[in-house]
Amino acid sequence: MGKRVLLIEDEPNILEAISFILSRDGWTVHTHEDGETAMQKVVGFPPDMIILDVMLPGRSGFDILRDLRGTDTTKDIPVMMLTARGQEKDRELALRLGANHFMTKPFSNAEVRDNVRNLMEA
Amino acid sequence: MLSFNVVITISLCYVAILFMVAFMAERRAMMGNATWLYSPLIYTLSLSIYCTAWTFYGAVGYAARSGLEFATIYLGPTLMMIGWWWILRKLVRIGRAQRITSIADLVSSRFGKSTSLGMIVTVISVVAATPYIALQLQSVTLSFAVFAQSNGQVWRDAELNATAMWVSVGLVIFTVIFGTRNLDANERHHGIVMAIAVEAVVKLVALLAVGVFVVWGVAGGPSEMLTRIDASPITLWDHNGGRWISLLFLSAAAFICLPRMFQVLVVENADERHLAIASWAFPTYLMLMSLFVVPIAVVGLDLLPTGSNPDLFVLTVPLYQGRDGLAMLSFLGGFSSATSMVMVATIALATMVSNHIVLPIWLSMRPNQQAVMSGDIRHVILLARRLSIAGVLFLGFIYYRVSGGGTALAAIGLVSFSGAVQILPAMIGGIFWRGATRIGAAAGLIVGLTLWLWTLFLPSFGADAMISQSVFDDGPFGLNWLRPQALFGISGLDPLVHGILWSMILNTGTFIVGSLISFPAPLERLQGAQFVNIFEHSAAAPAWTNAAAGAEDLLIMAQRIMGSTDAQAIFEREAIRQGKKGYLPEVTPAFVELLERELAGSVGAATAHAMVGQLIGGSGVSVEDLIAVADEAAQILEYSNRLEAKSTEQEQTARALRDANAKLTALSIQKDAFLSQISHELRTPMTSIRSFSDILRDGEVGGDAQKRYSGIIHDEAIRLTRLLDDLLDLSVLENGQVMLNEQTGSLSALLDRAIGGAGLLGSNLKIVRTPEVDDVTITTDLDRLVQVFINLIANSRKYCDAQHPRLKISVFDRGSHFYIDFVDNGSGIAADNQQLIFEKFSRVADGSKAGGAGLGLAICREIMRRLGGDITYLPGQYGTAFRLRLPKKKMKNALGEL
């Protein structure tokens, strides 16, 4: 497929794991670790899909999502959110803000792969 | 015959003894077991610096020349002490409430913390004290000369001047050593006070001994003495009513206006009740001092050849009779009288010069915050004080040289007195009359000073010295009505009475008229109300309202002036009072007021006000001030003071309610947040473990990747374990189920252990220690303490962002506690976060860099609590700084409280 996914996540080990999973599935994976500059990164390089962690240094994933949905060039990019807090209200908030999918850590590799595939097909 | 060298040796020994006494008193006071230093007896004896060499030698000379008039010099202070309830009590109360450092500070503070008034009063005091100090030098020099003469030497000016100079130098050294130990001028000078108390006893004993010798040894008993006195011309009732009243007034007023008397009466006063005792004890002392003045004068006139200096009878009568021992004692008495006066006077004057002249000038040269934030103010102040001490003595020496040392002792003393009392109208008006204003006070002081200089001070050098004989006779420029001893054409008065009369009448008149026609500034009105009504309300009025300065800036400034220990204590006390933790209280107007008063204890009210003003940046005029200005009537001002106290109270209640509400909300949120945080901290490593184990299980990777992924799984598993350990540890500590294993060990060894265990290998963090201080033995749970040390050192390793990171560990012994400070040279922690960092899972910096869960400081805090101490963030250190406080006592008590 060769499609581009942008992975915004600050834990280096998780970055490496997801990169491995998605590369194997044919994605070109780009990564970004900082919340504050994430928006600029997305706008300067519109990916086909974004995987966004909630707890990022500098700026929360929810705030970034709100901006993504409020910006013309990015409002249609599918976003999958990741969180380690695992609270129901986080899921609700993410979906209300316009996330296409929400995953709680930890997850199996198959889950990640399948959810990303589903989002691209939808 | 006493050889001159013996006299010198005995004098030096005496000084050495005084030195030791002063030194021991300082030591005792520092160790805190010196309650006797605060006794009414010491206070009373310290007042005896009123009796200078003038009183010791000069009173006899005075009696020999002018008869009973000398008694007025004792009666004035006696009246003042007996009436202590009205004036002295008020002065002492104000002095304590406003942390007054000197008489210049009192006047300046009362009239709106005015810098210019402080300067004027300082100038008057220095000029007036100069002849007096010269007088002490003269009497010591003359008494040395007496011994030299009795050895057959004849001293000329060269020898006299050299002696005066060496005495001055010695006094400078003694005074600098004991007078500038504490920067806080409001604090007591225990060493000096103790030394002058000893000297007070010596001079009384000496004078009584000479008196007893004269009555019983020379005259042959009391009745014979009385016969002699009756026959003597000095008891002829040749009194001048004007002079008596003037002198009585003069000595009573000088008793409170002389800077050195103000110093011992008000500044060194430890307890208001001491005044009550001194009110009879000090007049008794004066009575004893004056008991034998007339007999000594009468016998001296009888015995010694005509032309002998009566100012030295106390010394020459015993010498003439061959009583060397007694003469030596008498010499030491006179020496004591002179030295104690000079020491206290120079301390008082040096404080005034440094606080009211040097510092304002120094500050005005640095008009921005830099002055109070970065300049080393303590050094400037101390240096200014030391130089001032030398300067004041130098002036005295110059006066001694210029006046030729020829004038009678008493005459010089009276000139000094009459200069100092020019401050009286402003001072008394200031504490009793709310209508008094700064303009009035300044005008009165300047008029008084001018007239005193013209009618008394300049003429005191003698005709043709400062003022030519023709001016005495015809006035300056032929203006007859300006003749220095016959102003406005009123001649025929005694010069002293004339000078006092005119200067006081015009000084007071100008003060009153000036006050009536000028309008007080807001701050003046508030200070006025505080001073005049000191007994009705002691609460201070806030001077700053739009307090924009950060508490940390104020702390940095305060540390520079008072030193870090005192400054931190004040800030911490206030924080506790406000119900906050740490060293940074909210900058309320009340706190700024309090801080300003504390600073005033070091640098005077006007300077403290200016320094705080530079930081606060507010106009200094509060809403309350404006209300005060609008309301003319005094009662309304008081009412508004009360209202304001109420509204502050309400504000405090509201704040307390808001805080309580916030705490309750926070508690319920806290539980959710805590669970969510734990979840996050556990799930993150779990995610990596699960993902990589999935990858490995799929068997798609091999070789290096396989090794690497299993390594990640291993590390993350360890991270999980550590997190669980920390959580359990914290939970055990918080629930108080922890068993403490109390042991005794060396703090320095514990620090070594911690530095070894903090993982510094490969880190460039440099640890700086002070081994000579941290080598102390402590009894506590040593392992837990090391855990705290390791945490702090590791934090510094992880977060200190300086190019050459350095962590300084210092240990302080503070009585019941050890303080252990960990200060690094990184960029520090923002004030907002200084409390937050002790909360669980709080990480101010980037989480991934830290590699921990943010539980370290929370655990440290719990451990320190269990050990009966605490850990706080120490602001104002130009880096991240933590202070551990560890009690020396056993931990059991501490546990009992929990």
What pLDDT is stored for residue B600 in this prediction?
A: 76
Instruction: Determine whether the interchain pair B848/A109 forms a contact, defined as Cβ–Cβ distance below 8 Å.
Output: no
What pLDDT is stored for residue B33 in this prediction?
A: 60
Q: Is residue B475 part of a domain?
A: no
Instruction: Determine whether the interchain pair B676/A87 forms a contact, defined as Cβ–Cβ distance below 8 Å.
Output: yes
Question: How many CA within 13 A on the CB side of residue B708?
Answer: 8
Q: List chain B residues with CB under 8 Å of A33.
A: 848
- Going by C-alpha positions, the residue among B167, B122, B126, B125 that lies closest to residue B144 is B167
Instruction: Determine whether the interchain pair B683/A87 forms a contact, defined as Cβ–Cβ distance below 8 Å.
Output: no
In angstroms, what separates the C-alpha of A106 from chain B's closest C-alpha?
A: 4
In angstroms, what separates the C-alpha of A111 from chain B's closest C-alpha?
A: 10
* Owning domain of residue A89: 4-121
CA-nearest residue to B678 within chain A is A85
Which H helix or E strand runs over B246?
Answer: helix B241-257
In angstroms, what separates the C-alpha of B663 from chain A's closest C-alpha?
A: 23
What pLDDT is stored for residue B775 in this prediction?
A: 77
pLDDT tens digit sequence for B772-819: 777 788 888 888 888 899 888 888 888 888 888 888 888 888 878 888
Contacts of B735 (CB under 8 A, 6+ apart): none
Question: How many CA within 13 A on the CB side of residue B619?
Answer: 8
- Going by C-alpha positions, the residue among A1, A11, A79, A10 that lies closest to residue A42 is A79
Collapsing DSSP states into helix, strand and coil, what is residue B503? helix
Instruction: Determine whether the interchain pair A14/B686 forms a contact, defined as Cβ–Cβ distance below 8 Å.
Output: no
- Going by C-alpha positions, the residue among B108, B64, B181, B138 that lies closest to residue B341 is B138
Task: Tell me the β-bridge partners of B467.
Answer: B463
In this prediction, residue B629 has a pLDDT band, given cuts at 50, 70 and 90, of very low
What is the length of chain B?
898
Question: How many CA within 13 A on the CB side of residue B592?
Answer: 29
Q: Is residue B531 part of a domain?
A: no
Q: Can you tell me the distance from the alpha carbon of B302 to that of B319, in angstroms, rounded to the nearest whole number?
A: 15
**Interface membership of B690 toward A (CB under 8 Å):** yes
Instruction: Determine whether the interchain pair A17/B695 forms a contact, defined as Cβ–Cβ distance below 8 Å.
Output: yes
CA angle, B131 then B137 then B141, to 5°: 140
CA-nearest residue to A103 within chain B is B687
Residue B487 pLDDT more than 90? no
Instruction: Determine whether the interchain pair B687/A107 forms a contact, defined as Cβ–Cβ distance below 8 Å.
Output: yes
Instruction: Determine whether the interchain pair B684/A107 forms a contact, defined as Cβ–Cβ distance below 8 Å.
Output: no
Q: Which of A 65-104 lie inside 8 A of B, CB atoms?
A: 83-87, 104
Q: Are residues B149 and B132 in the same domain?
A: yes
pLDDT tens digit sequence for B183-193: 555 556 778 88
What sign for the dihedral angle of Cα B605, B611, B616, B617? Answer: positive
What pLDDT is stored for residue B34 in this prediction?
A: 59
φ, ψ for residue B775, nearest 5 deg: -85, 70
Looking at B221-331, which runs of residues are DSSP E strands?
none
The token pair at B328 is 């030596």
Nearest to B848 among A11, A85, A108 (CB): A11
> Residue A49 belongs to a domain with what CATH number?
3.40.50.2300
**Interface membership of B723 toward A (CB under 8 Å):** no
Structural domain ending residue among the three candidates B735, B761, B777: B735
- Going by C-alpha positions, the residue among A42, A86, A46 that lies closest to residue A63 is A42
Nearest to B695 among A55, A57, A109 (CB): A109
Pairing between β-strand A79-83 and β-strand A101-104 as defined by DSSP bridges = parallel
- Going by C-alpha positions, the residue among B388, B384, B379 that lies closest to residue B359 is B384
φ, ψ for residue B491, nearest 5 deg: -115, 175
> Residue B250 belongs to a domain with what CATH number?
1.20.1730.10
Least confident residue range of A15-29, A46-60, A83-97:
A83-97
**Residue found under tokens 């923002």:** B830
In angstroms, what separates the C-alpha of B530 from chain A's closest C-alpha?
A: 52
Instruction: Determine whether the interchain pair B690/A12 forms a contact, defined as Cβ–Cβ distance below 8 Å.
Output: no
Q: Are residues B700 and B806 in the same domain?
A: no
Q: Are residues B701 and B581 in the same domain?
A: no
The token pair at B504 is 């006081």
What pLDDT is stored for residue A18 in this prediction?
A: 92
**Interface membership of A45 toward B (CB under 8 Å):** no
Which H helix or E strand runs over B95?
Answer: helix B88-97
Task: Tell me the β-bridge partners of A28.
Answer: A4
**Interface membership of B679 toward A (CB under 8 Å):** yes
Q: Are residues B388 and B411 in the same domain?
A: yes
Least confident residue range of B41-55, B381-395, B405-419, B724-738:
B405-419
Question: How many CA within 13 A on the CB side of residue A45?
Answer: 15
**Interface membership of B694 toward A (CB under 8 Å):** yes
Residue B741, amino acid? N
Q: B422 and B452 in contact (C-beta within 8 Å)?
A: yes
Collapsing DSSP states into helix, strand and coil, what is residue A83? strand
Instruction: Determine whether the interchain pair B680/A21 forms a contact, defined as Cβ–Cβ distance below 8 Å.
Output: no
Instruction: Summarize the confidence of residues A90-101 as an average pLDDT.
Output: 88
What pLDDT is stored for residue B205 in this prediction?
A: 92
- The H-assigned helical ranges of B469-535 are 469-474, 495-517, 522-532
Residue A101 pLDDT more than 60? yes
Q: Are residues B731 and B769 in the same domain?
A: no
Least confident residue range of B310-324, B399-413, B849-863:
B399-413
**Interface membership of A18 toward B (CB under 8 Å):** yes
Q: Is residue B366 part of a domain?
A: no
Task: Tell me the β-bridge partners of B777.
Answer: B746
Q: List chain A residues with CB under 8 Å of B679.
A: 84-87
In angstroms, what separates the C-alpha of B583 from chain A's closest C-alpha?
A: 28
CA-nearest residue to A113 within chain B is B691
What pLDDT is stored for residue B231 in this prediction?
A: 77
Residues of chain B above pLDDT 70, percent: 81
Q: B864 and B871 in contact (C-beta within 8 Å)?
A: yes
Structural domain ending residue among the three candidates B415, B437, B459: B437
In angstroms, what separates the C-alpha of B611 from chain A's closest C-alpha?
A: 38
In angstroms, what separates the C-alpha of A35 from chain B's closest C-alpha?
A: 11
pLDDT tens digit sequence for B881-897: 899 988 887 544 444 44
- Mean pLDDT (chain A) is 87
**Interface membership of B713 toward A (CB under 8 Å):** no
Q: Are residues B570 and B715 in the same domain?
A: no
Instruction: Determine whether the interchain pair B680/A11 forms a contact, defined as Cβ–Cβ distance below 8 Å.
Output: no
Q: B189 and B268 in contact (C-beta within 8 Å)?
A: yes
**Interface membership of B680 toward A (CB under 8 Å):** yes
- Interface predicted TM-score (ipTM) of this complex, two decimals: 0.91
Residue B404 pLDDT more than 70? no
Instruction: Determine whether the interchain pair B688/A13 forms a contact, defined as Cβ–Cβ distance below 8 Å.
Output: yes
Q: Is residue B821 part of a domain?
A: yes
What pLDDT is stored for residue B123 in this prediction?
A: 92
The token pair at B593 is 């007021």
Q: Is residue B458 part of a domain?
A: no
Contacts of B817 (CB under 8 A, 6+ apart): B869, B885, B886, B887, B888
Burial (0-12, 13-18, 19+ Cβ within 10 Å), B229: middle
Return the residue in A59, A85, A116 with the most chain B beta carbons within 10 A, the one to mutate for interface testing: A85
Instruction: Summarize the confidence of residues B306-325 as an average pLDDT.
Output: 81
Q: Are residues B731 and B775 in the same domain?
A: no
In angstroms, what separates the C-alpha of A48 from chain B's closest C-alpha?
A: 23
Inter-chain CB pairs, A–B, below 8 Å: 70
Task: Tell me the β-bridge partners of B818.
Answer: B813, B886
* Owning domain of residue B820: 742-897
Q: Is residue B671 part of a domain?
A: no
Instruction: Determine whether the interchain pair B683/A104 forms a contact, defined as Cβ–Cβ distance below 8 Å.
Output: yes
Residue A86 pLDDT more than 80? no
What is the length of chain A?
122
> Residue B831 belongs to a domain with what CATH number?
3.30.565.10
Instruction: Determine whether the interchain pair B687/A24 forms a contact, defined as Cβ–Cβ distance below 8 Å.
Output: no
Instruction: Determine whether the interchain pair A10/B848 forms a contact, defined as Cβ–Cβ distance below 8 Å.
Output: yes
Q: Is residue B557 part of a domain?
A: yes
In angstroms, what separates the C-alpha of A44 from chain B's closest C-alpha?
A: 25
Q: What is the DSSP letter of B70?
A: G
Instruction: Determine whether the interchain pair A85/B676 forms a contact, defined as Cβ–Cβ distance below 8 Å.
Output: yes
What pLDDT is stored for residue B598 in this prediction?
A: 79
What pLDDT is stored for residue B425 in this prediction?
A: 92
More confident residue, B202 or B69: B202
Instruction: Determine whether the interchain pair B680/A55 forms a contact, defined as Cβ–Cβ distance below 8 Å.
Output: yes
Q: Are residues B251 and B313 in the same domain?
A: yes
CA distances from A116 to A22, A109, B478, B757, B865 (A): 9, 11, 112, 46, 50
Burial (0-12, 13-18, 19+ Cβ within 10 Å), B479: exposed
| Count of structural domains within chain A | 1
Q: Are residues B151 and B76 in the same domain?
A: yes
Instruction: Summarize the confidence of residues A95-120 as an average pLDDT.
Output: 89
CA-nearest residue to A11 within chain B is B848
Instruction: Determine whether the interchain pair B694/A108 forms a contact, defined as Cβ–Cβ distance below 8 Å.
Output: yes
Q: Can you tell me the distance from the alpha carbon of B122 to that of B105, in angstroms, rounded to the nearest whole number?
A: 9
- Going by C-alpha positions, the residue among A81, A109, A105 that lies closest to residue A95 is A81
Q: Are residues B584 and B697 in the same domain?
A: no
**Interface membership of B700 toward A (CB under 8 Å):** yes
B549: alpha, beta or left? (left if phi > 0; alpha if psi -120 to 50) = beta
**Interface membership of B735 toward A (CB under 8 Å):** no
**Interface membership of B712 toward A (CB under 8 Å):** yes
- Mean pLDDT (chain B) is 78
- Going by C-alpha positions, the residue among B87, B92, B121, B124 that lies closest to residue B107 is B121
Nearest to B846 among A57, A84, A87 (CB): A57
CA angle, A97 then A99 then A102, to 5°: 120
| Count of structural domains within chain B | 4
Q: Can you tell me the distance from the alpha carbon of A55 to that of A50, in angstroms, rounded to the nearest whole number?
A: 15
Q: List chain A residues with CB under 8 Å of B847.
A: 10, 57
Instruction: Determine whether the interchain pair B691/A86 forms a contact, defined as Cβ–Cβ distance below 8 Å.
Output: no
DSSP B749-812: HHHHHHHHHT--TT--PEEEE-HHHH--EEEEEHHHHHHHHHHHHHHHHHH--SSS-EEEEEEE
Instruction: Determine whether the interchain pair A57/B716 forms a contact, defined as Cβ–Cβ distance below 8 Å.
Output: no
pLDDT tens digit sequence for B219-267: 878 888 888 887 777 666 556 677 788 888 888 998 888 888 888 888 8
Q: Is residue B549 part of a domain?
A: yes
What pLDDT is stored for residue B626 in this prediction?
A: 34
Structural domain ending residue among the three candidates B397, B413, B437: B437
What pLDDT is stored for residue B642 in this prediction?
A: 63
In angstroms, what separates the C-alpha of B671 from chain A's closest C-alpha?
A: 13
Question: How many CA within 13 A on the CB side of residue B436?
Answer: 31
CA distances from B96 to B83, B89, B260, B492 (A): 20, 11, 17, 46
What sign for the dihedral angle of Cα B183, B185, B186, B191? Answer: positive
